């Protein structure tokens, strides 16, 4: 529930400015483009050095259970994940196509912005087999500083508890 | 096809015929003879029924099952099927209940699965209702024998299954107790849908030979090299196994010298805290994988503890249900350590993501090989325990148990 708590912590009646909204939207657009185009090496750079990235299921969140499918607490851990994908792990060639819904934004702690965004991801195998692979929502906390927007936290909450075969490429 | 028209290769346990993963009638036969027969199936952790009057749903192979803890704390398991029209009784994964009520026609059951009420049994206003001599409880959900061992709930539908400890064998019981040494705390779970026959996953679990060859992460970080000290234990009846390795590093160069793909790159972690761990069992064993026929796995990978349930969904589709846990007295730092090490396991696990796919590679590879067979001769032809993990003894053990249950 970390994502909720973080965002609700600083939430007030004030709205997030239009410029910030565009930056957050742009960050998520670049995020999915980086993954969908297979530029995994660029993916950690969208996060702060000290960040939190995790993938979990709605079932775990609803039960208040902390387990993640992927859990990283720094940009270095994200880079390790990419290195493992490139050099160590064995999986059939595949790519994703993300489709995002509109983000709902609210002010969060320390002047950061909380964002909730629905997503759907199709997985396209090298054989051509294409299937709906995952649906869910992103609970993000984005820090806007010096013109750049970076994820301080990104929690990917999958609607389903079932993963088909494996989840190699991050969502 | 009748399974008796098929015959096992004359070489015995060193040859596995490929039709064994691809025959629809055989799949149905396995459900009856193994899962609804005299095998014991793991249903859930006792901790998943945290209080009296709670339930969760599980499976005995294909058969849906309800597991309950009654008002007195006793655990029961029964078929998740109403005596009336066969509807599922419990639709949810878990919950609280004083009684079980079928949503279809409101027939009610107690938490032991006994039919306690039939709606409008005597009709309404003297009309309708059921004849007095009708005995619907004779069609009630199948009651299962339940045994709880060190916080693990097992059940069998068979009358002839030996008590659970006898079924497991003394070495397996000892190593179960080693991991289930204290009350557990649930950390969460997920499921992996495997594109292969259930037996392919169980073979994969029992195959200590593949671990450091398929999973490069293991090898390069010296988490598990076959040259590391460890061993393989196979129960007397073949069906249950333990593979373990010590966490101490061994500076051997066997993999590099043999030119193994998994040892070729100089791989290092930027954030080595991923692998931080403590020797919480005090015996230096870094990895212990334990399996019980037909479909249960208990895992200790450093401080990552989990149970895995192998649920056949169809001939070529298997659900692998993971439940991760720690101990009730873990502090926050210990929980954080376990959560971080959970990166090693599951569908995204650095050292386990390949396993699900590997079952699919075999299932797809054998489509035209109904009359061929695989060669399982690493470590000879036996099924006994040994020090070397360059062995397929536990895989052969699986087939020994399988053939006995299937009378094949």
Residue range B231-240: average pLDDT?
94
* B335 and chain A in contact, CB less than 8 A: yes
Q: Is residue B128 exposed (0-12), middle (13-18) or buried (19+ Cβ within 10 Å)?
A: exposed
Handedness of CA A86, A92, A98, A104 (dihedral sign): negative
Pair B286, B400 in one domain? yes
Is residue B22 in some structural domain? no
Last residue within a domain, chosen from B115, B147, B179: B147
* Cα A131 from Cα A133, distance rounded (Å): 6
Pair B142, B194 in one domain? no
Average predicted confidence (pLDDT) for chain B: 91
* Cα A69 from Cα B20, distance rounded (Å): 33
| Partner-chain residue, chosen from A56, A87, A168, that has the shortest CB–CB distance to B265 | A87
Which residues in chain A land under pLDDT 50?
1-13
So what's the pLDDT on residue B307? Answer: 98
Q: Would strands B152-156 and B145-149 be described as parallel, antiparallel, or unpaired? A: antiparallel
Pair B278, B375 in one domain? yes
Containing structural domain, residue B333? 169-406
So what's the pLDDT on residue B255? Answer: 57
Pair B252, B370 in one domain? yes
| Partner-chain residue, chosen from B274, B324, B347, that has the shortest CB–CB distance to A77 | B274
Instruction: Output the pTM of the full model.
Output: 0.93
Pair B131, B189 in one domain? no
B261-272 pLDDT, tens digit each: 555 555 678 898
A63 three-class SS: coil
Interface probe with B: pick from A163, A164, A169, most Cβ of B within 10 Å:
A163
**Residues in Cβ contact with B164 at an 8 Å cutoff, skipping those fewer than 6 apart:** B40, B147, B149, B154
A–B: how many Cβ contacts below 8 A? 117
Pair B191, B46 in one domain? no
Residue range B64-79: average pLDDT?
98
Assign residue B139 the CATH number of its domain.
Answer: 2.102.10.10
B254-302 pLDDT, tens digit each: 555 665 555 555 567 889 888 888 999 999 999 999 999 999 999 999 9
* Helix ranges restricted to H, B207-352: 211-214, 216-220, 254-258, 332-341
Is residue B154 in some structural domain? no
Minimum Cα–Cα distance from A166: chain B residue: B347
Residue A128 backbone zone (phi > 0: left; psi -120 to 50: alpha; other: beta): left
Handedness of CA B313, B314, B317, B318 (dihedral sign): positive
So what's the pLDDT on residue B356? Answer: 87
Is residue B31 in some structural domain? no
So what's the pLDDT on residue B111? Answer: 97
CB within 8 Å: B191 and A59 = no
ipTM for the predicted complex comes to: 0.92
* CA-based nearest distance A18→chain B, Å: 37
B26-36 pLDDT, tens digit each: 999 999 999 99
Q: How confident is the model at residue B216 (pLDDT cuts 50, 70, 90)?
A: confident
Residue range B317-340: average pLDDT?
98
**At residue B210, does pLDDT exceed 90?**
no
Pair B143, B182 in one domain? no
Q: How confident is the model at residue B226 (pLDDT cuts 50, 70, 90)?
A: low
Which two structure tokens, joined as six digits, stand for A155? 């929690």
So what's the pLDDT on residue A10? Answer: 45
Pair B51, B125 in one domain? yes
Look up the CATH architecture of domain A2-158: Roll (3.10)
How is chain A split into domains, by residue range? 2-158
Minimum Cα–Cα distance from B354: chain A residue: A90
Q: Minimal CA–CA distance to B318: which of B299, B344, B300, B294?
A: B294
B331-363 pLDDT, tens digit each: 999 999 999 999 999 999 999 999 989 999 999
Name the percent of chain B lying above pLDDT 70. 91
Pair B119, B184 in one domain? no
So what's the pLDDT on residue B261? Answer: 55
Last residue within a domain, chosen from B116, B147, B178: B147
Residue range B311-326: average pLDDT?
98
Residue range B141-157: average pLDDT?
98
DSSP designation for B142 = P
Pair B142, B178 in one domain? no
The domain total for chain B is 2
DSSP designation for B19 = G
Q: Is residue A57 exposed (0-12), middle (13-18) or buried (19+ Cβ within 10 Å)?
A: buried
Pair B231, B279 in one domain? yes
**Residues in chain A closer than 8 A to B267 (CB atoms):** 83, 87-88
* Cα A142 from Cα B19, distance rounded (Å): 54
């Amino acid at each position: 529930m970390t994502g909720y708590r973080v965002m609700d912590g600083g939430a007030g009646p004030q709205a997030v400015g239009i410029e910030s909204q565009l930056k957050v939207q742009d960050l998520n657009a670049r995020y999915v483009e980086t993954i969908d185009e297979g530029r995994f090496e660029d993916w950690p750079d969208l996060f702060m050095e000290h960040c939190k990235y995790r993938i979990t299921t709605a079932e775990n969140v609803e039960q208040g259970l902390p387990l993640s499918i992927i859990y990283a607490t720094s940009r270095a851990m994200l880079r390790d994940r990419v290195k493992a994908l490139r050099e160590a792990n064995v999986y059939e060639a595949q790519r994703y196509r993300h489709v995002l819904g509109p983000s709902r934004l609210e002010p969060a702690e320390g002047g950061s912005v909380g964002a909730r965004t629905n997503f759907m991801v199709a997985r396209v195998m090298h054989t051509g087999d294409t299937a709906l692979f995952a649906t869910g929502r992103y609970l993000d906390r984005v820090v806007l500083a010096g013109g750049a927007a970076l994820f301080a936290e990104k929690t990917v909450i999958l609607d389903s508890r079932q993963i088909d075969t494996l989840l190699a490429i991050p969502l | 096809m009748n399974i008796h028209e098929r015959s096992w290769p004359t070489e015995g346990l060193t040859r596995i015929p490929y039709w064994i993963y691809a025959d629809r009638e055989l799949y149905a036969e396995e459900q009856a003879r193994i899962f609804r027969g005299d095998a014991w199936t793991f249903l859930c952790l006792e901790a998943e029924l945290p209080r009296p009057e709670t339930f969760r749903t599980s499976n005995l192979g294909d058969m849906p099952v309800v597991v309950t803890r009654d008002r007195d704390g006793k655990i029961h398991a029964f078929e998740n099927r109403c005596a009336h029209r066969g509807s599922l009784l419990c639709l949810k994964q878990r919950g609280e209940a004083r009684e079980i009520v079928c949503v279809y026609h409101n027939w009610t059951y107690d938490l032991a699965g006994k039919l306690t009420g039939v709606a409008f049994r005597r009709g309404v206003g003297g009309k309708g209702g059921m004849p007095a001599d009708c005995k619907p409880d004779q069609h009630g959900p199948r009651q299962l024998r339940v045994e709880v061992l060190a916080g693990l709930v097992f059940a069998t539908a068979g009358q002839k299954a030996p008590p659970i400890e006898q079924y497991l064998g003394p070495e397996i019981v000892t190593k179960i107790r080693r991991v289930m040494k204290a009350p557990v705390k649930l950390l969460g779970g997920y499921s992996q849908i495997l594109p292969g026959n259930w037996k392919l996953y169980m073979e994969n679990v029992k195959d200590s030979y593949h671990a450091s060859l398929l999973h490069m992460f293991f090898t390069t970080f010296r988490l598990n090299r076959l040259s590391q000290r460890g061993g393989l234990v196979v129960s007397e009846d073949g069906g249950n196994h333990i593979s373990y390795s010590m966490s101490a590093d061994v500076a051997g160069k066997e993999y590099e010298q043999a030119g193994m793909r998994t040892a070729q790159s100089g791989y290092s972690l930027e954030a080595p805290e991923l692998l931080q761990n403590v020797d919480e069992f005090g015996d230096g064993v870094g990895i212990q994988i334990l399996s019980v026929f037909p479909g249960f796995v208990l895992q200790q990978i450093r401080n990552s503890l989990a149970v895995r349930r192998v649920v056949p969904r169809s001939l070529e589709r298997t659900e692998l249900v993971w439940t991760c846990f720690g101990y009730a007295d873990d502090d926050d730092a210990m929980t954080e350590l376990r959560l971080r090490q959970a990166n090693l396991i599951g569908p995204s696990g650095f050292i386990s993501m390949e396993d699900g796919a590997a079952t699919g590679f075999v299932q797809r590879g054998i489509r035209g090989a109904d009359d061929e067979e695989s060669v399982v001769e690493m470590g000879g032809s036996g099924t006994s325990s040994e020090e070397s993990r360059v062995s397929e003894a536990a895989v052969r053990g699986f087939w020994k148990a399988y053939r006995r249950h299937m009378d094949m």
